């Protein structure tokens, strides 16, 4: 059986990665999102084992020292990491595994798994991102300013990614992501 691809999906907060990912999973059979771990507290409605594996800082540190993470990063004062075994099990079953992770983690995956496919989702402009974050209504003006600052920094990692998708309209962005996944399944030559 063909081993599934490993795909990293990164992009600034508020760019619409969750919506794109759920639409993509609906449209392309054989794609799964990998559950990841975090030390942050669950938000309302979030469940352990569904949204994240919610670990204490001590558990997270133990997992790091036991080599259980494919990558891990410190982001927004919390730790986030991808459990290696979840990625390996899904890929061994022939599934394409998508990691929705921030850029520090994406670059670690690039180092450790050279054949990984890195996709960056950008907003049409920072101004559009500001409008979307404002419309979402979950952040204070200070938090929005901080997210925009982080977004600018994250966008500096774009040259290290393989594909750039602009989320202008959701339909077009999902079409493009689907095309990338299908083309990558047909690839013969793997670089790395
Ligand atoms: P949030 O706290 O809003 O759920 O996630 C914050 C950021 O951490 C998002 O960009 C999310 O994609 C990223 N993230 C989630 N899980 C992981 C992970 O396992 N590793 C890394 N490097 N980033 C993650």
Ligand 1 pocket check for 69: Cβ under 6 Å: no
Pocket flag, ligand 1, residue 33 (CB < 6 Å): no
Pairing label, strands 37-38, 78-83: antiparallel
pTM equals 0.95
Residue 191 domain-assigned (yes or no):
no
Average per-residue pLDDT in the chain? 96
**Residue 189: per-residue pLDDT:** 81
How many domains are there within the chain? 1
Is 100 near ligand 1, meaning CB less than 6 Å away?
A: yes
Please indicate whether residue 81, judged by its CB atom, sits closer than 6 Å to ligand 1. yes
Instruction: Calculate how far, in angstroms, residue 100's C-alpha sits from the geometric centre of ligand 1.
Output: 7
19-60 tens-digit pLDDT:
999 999 999 999 999 999 999 999 999 999 999 999 999 999
Write out the residue range of the structural domain in which residue 58 sits.
6-185
CATH number of the domain that residue 174 is part of:
3.40.50.300
Beta carbons of 120 and 11 less than 8 angstroms apart: yes
* Residue 24 domain-assigned (yes or no): yes
Kindly report, residue by residue over 106-115, the tens digit of the pLDDT: 999 999 999 9
| CA 48/CA 37 separation, integer angstroms | 9
In this predicted structure, what is the pLDDT of residue 190? 75
Residue 1 lies in a domain: no
Phi, psi (rounded to 5 degrees) for 43: -80, 170
Closest CA to 179 of 191, 163, 159, 160: 163
pLDDT for position 191:
66
CA-76 nearest atom, ligand 1: 6
Tell me whether residue 166 is in a domain. Answer: yes
């Amino acid at each position: 059986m063909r081993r599934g691809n490993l795909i990293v999906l990164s992009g600034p907060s508020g760019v619409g990665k969750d919506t794109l990912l759920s639409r993509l999973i609906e449209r392309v059979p054989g794609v799964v999102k990998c559950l990841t771990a975090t030390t942050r507290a669950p938000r309302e409605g979030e469940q352990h084992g569904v949204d994240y594996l919610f670990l204490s800082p001590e558990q997270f540190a133990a997992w790091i020292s036991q080599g259980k993470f494919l990558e891990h990063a410190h982001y927004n004062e919390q730790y986030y990491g991808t459990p290696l075994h979840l990625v390996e099990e899904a890929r061994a079953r022939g599934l394409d595994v998508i990691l929705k992770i921030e850029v520090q983690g994406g670059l670690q995956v690039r180092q450790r798994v050279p054949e990984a496919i890195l996709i960056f989702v950008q907003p049409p402009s920072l101004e559009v991102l500001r409008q979307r974050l404002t419309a979402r209504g979950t952040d204070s003006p200070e938090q929005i300013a901080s997210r925009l600052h982080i977004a600018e920094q994250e966008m500096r990692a774009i040259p290290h990614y393989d594909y750039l998708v602009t989320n202008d309209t959701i339909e077009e962005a999902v079409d493009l992501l689907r095309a990338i996944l299908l083309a990558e399944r047909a690839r013969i030559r793997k670089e790395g």
